[in-house]
Structure 1
Amino acid sequence: MDVRLITEDGIEQRPAADLPALLADDTALIWVDVPSCDPTAAKVLRDVFKFHPMAVADCVERNRVPKVHAYPDHVFVVLHAPERGSRGHVHYLELDQFVGENYLVTVHGPLNPAVEPQAALRETGAVLARIESGRLRPRTPFDLSHAIASALTRNQEAYIETVTTDVWQLEQRVTGGNVGEPEEFLNELFRARHGLLAVRTMSALSSAIYGRMAAFTGISEDGHQRVADIADRFERVRSLADGEREYLQGVIEFYQTILVIKAALVGQAQNEEVKRLTEASYAQNEEVKKISAWAAILFAPALVGTVYGMNFEHMPETKWLLGYPAALAVMFIASFVLYRVFKRRGWL
């Protein structure tokens, strides 16, 4: 836990034991930054600052969405900043704030083990550097809270800028016909979309809670102006995310159209191949019909000739004067009948 006293001359580091005396001084501006709400820090929040147990529990546990609660002497705000993970995953870095009359307490929420600890301190570290360099001289807790929230919106914009770079590269690959493996490319498209949607959700919800905070009566006129400015900044981030998401959706639809056209062309080629094979099969069947028809026609004389060629002793046709002409007539008539039948059926 870092206890800091902000004065006109700069910023001073103080021990946690000085907190009761510093809080009793209405003219002091105190900034307490809690990198992780461990049991010791939670005890200070409950016993020294007298924060509501539910608010302290929100600091210990992870909150999925931004929120704001107004208490008689302070306002409790939960915000999120994006951090890019592996394969397009977006980590939500939680930053809780207690904005009181003469103090600001910033609590960094539970951190995913995959995220570097320094990433959670990005916004507060940037504001601390500005104060130490003399570029920022906050006069009230809302001034300090405004500076931290502004740094958070700038990081959200920077995240959108990073994703936008990816979107442009994806578009160039689509238009250049160099997408590689379609399934992996689609994964890249939807990972980019997921990143934009995550930041869009963060900024939209944050804008909503700051819009609600603007209606609180216990905030000074200057505080209302700061709150309205932060609400406007979050709204701008939401608009940027929406614009880039729509642009990316156009790239996705363009690529999907290309896939549909390619699939149609492949299907057409397959249909033509099937048609060609069908025609070849039909022609082959026609040839088989002709061969079968002629085989049947030629089989009739062969059948008669085979019977008459047996030459058994008791065959009456062997001594019949008209036997041979009759056999020839039967062969001719059988072949002629078969020919007419096959001709009528279109086999010949």
Structure 2
Amino acid sequence: MPRALARLVEGLTRPAPHVPEQRRSNPGAVVDCAVYQGGDRRPGSLHFADAARTARRRRGSFVWLGLHEPDERTMAAVAQAFGLHELTAEQATTGGHRPGAEIVGEVTRLVLRTARYVEHEELTADSEVVDTGDVTVLVGENFVITVRHGAAGALRAVRAQLEARPQLLAEGPWAVAHAVCDRMVDLYLEVAAEVERDLEHVEETVFAPGRRMDIAHIYQLKRELVEFKRAVLPLGEPLQRLLDRGVVPVALHPYLVDVRGRLVRAVDRVAAFDDLLNSILQARLAQVSVDQNNDMRKIASWAAIAAAQTGIAGVYGMNFATMPELGWKYGYYVVLAVMALTAVLLHRRFKKVGWL
């Protein structure tokens, strides 16, 4: 056989070189993508489509795909790789959803609101005390997808802590869902502690003698508290629904019950904050009303003093031909003395009754 023909036959029969799956890069919205088996993370970084196929082939494994504000194109590719319903993918693309839980086919969609406290030197009407966002958790048989919107609620620490607990991670995708819920509730309690500190400062300022706080600051804090309350209060019902429907593995029930219990504490604290802030607001409004009454009293007192002088000067400015004391050489000085004495007596009287 000629040498050239032999090389051609060898090239046709030689197996194709293996192209590693890691060479295909993930979109920029992908924060992390990993395959877990038996509670351990498999080495390497896979494209989410390759990771989905790997999890389907390997029994007892699942994919955790973390996304941050994905666009429609990326979410459509994720939906195709994991078999998500198009409406589920569309809802995950946009943020601002209310906390809730629903089951679409074999996928459970859990929505939680994220929250973080924004440090500030001084409370102003334009400052943002509580920054909120949302995270959507899509749980399937062999995958869990977390889609986060907003700066609050980063999940890198959640992944690291969960990877350090392989026994819990071995429970599958719902272990991730529990860890995300646990992290969100922890954030609620942290934010509640910071808001309580702010409320104590506002309360001290409002009721301290000689100190006044701009009422716009209190309204701003109340607005932030309303937003925080919308994140915390509605979550209890979805968590209870997941426990009642039996979609959560039995081994994870105690963990989710613990999360629900701490959520109740957060809800109670937020409700107490709302009542306290309403009391502070009513007290500040009462102070404003009292201050306005005091100002009106002062204005009325000075107006009465000026009116007495105006009345005396008006009488002697009538230009009648015959008036008492017009020909008296001390009349001018006596009138000035009467005007000054009237002003002093009125001022002392108003001062005594607390109008000045």
Runs of 5+ unmatched residues, structure 1: 299-348
Pair 220,64 (structure 1): closer, same or farther in 2 beyond 3 Å: closer
- TM-score, structure 2 as length reference: 0.69
Say yes or no: does 1:237 pair with 2:296. Answer: no
Per the alignment, residue 53 of structure 1 pairs with 86
Structure 1 pair 89–173 and aligned structure 2 pair: CA distance change class (3 A): closer
Is the helix fraction higher in 1 or 2? 1
Identity of aligned residues (%): 13
Matches within 5 A, 1:264-303: 264-288=293-317, 292=320, 294-295=322-323
State the partner residue of 2:42: 12
CA distance, structure 1, for counterparts of residue 93 and residue 130 of structure 2: 21
Q: Say which of 289, 307, 311 aligns to 1:260.
A: 289
Counterpart secondary structure, 1:280: helix
Corresponding residue number in structure 2 for 1:186: 215
* Distance across 1 between alignment mates of 2:168 and 2:255: 15
Instruction: Summarize the Cα distance change of 1:241–1:19 in structure 2 as closer, same or farther, 3 Å threshold.
Output: same
Check if 1:125 corresponds to 2:165. no
Q: Is the 8 A contact 1:203 1:235 kept in 2?
A: no
1:317-346 residue CA offsets vs partner (Å, 9 max, x unmatched): xxxxxxxxxxxxxxxxxxxxxxxxxxxxxx
Tell me the equivalent position of 1:31: 64
- 1:173 positional shift: 2.2
Q: Which TM-score applies when normalising by structure 1?
A: 0.71
The structural deviation recorded for 1:55 is 0.7
Could you tell me which of 121, 143, 150 is aligned with 1:103?
Answer: 143
Q: Which has the larger radius of gyration?
A: 1
Equivalent position of 1:65 in the other structure:
98
CA contact (8 A) 1:29 1:141 kept: yes
Displacement of 1:60: 1.3
Return the offset for 1:36: 3.6
Between the two proteins, the alignment pairs up a number of residues equal to 284
Q: Which runs of 5+ in 2 are unaligned?
A: 1-29, 119-125, 327-356
- 2:134 is matched with 94
- Alpha-carbon distance in 2 for matches of 1:28, 1:135: 13
Q: Deviations over 1:263-313 (max 9, x none)?
A: 111111111122222233333344456x726259x9xxxxxxxxxxxxxxx
Cα distance change on mapping 1:146 and 1:219 into 2, 3 Å: closer
Contact residue 207 and residue 232 of structure 1 kept, 8 A: no
Question: Is 1:137 matched up with 2:161?
Answer: no
Contact 1:163 1:195 (C-alpha < 8 Å) held by counterparts: no
Do 2:199 and 2:277's aligned partners in 1 also have CA atoms closer than 8 Å?
yes
Report the AA paired with residue 93 of structure 1. Answer: G
AA aligned opposite 1:239: D
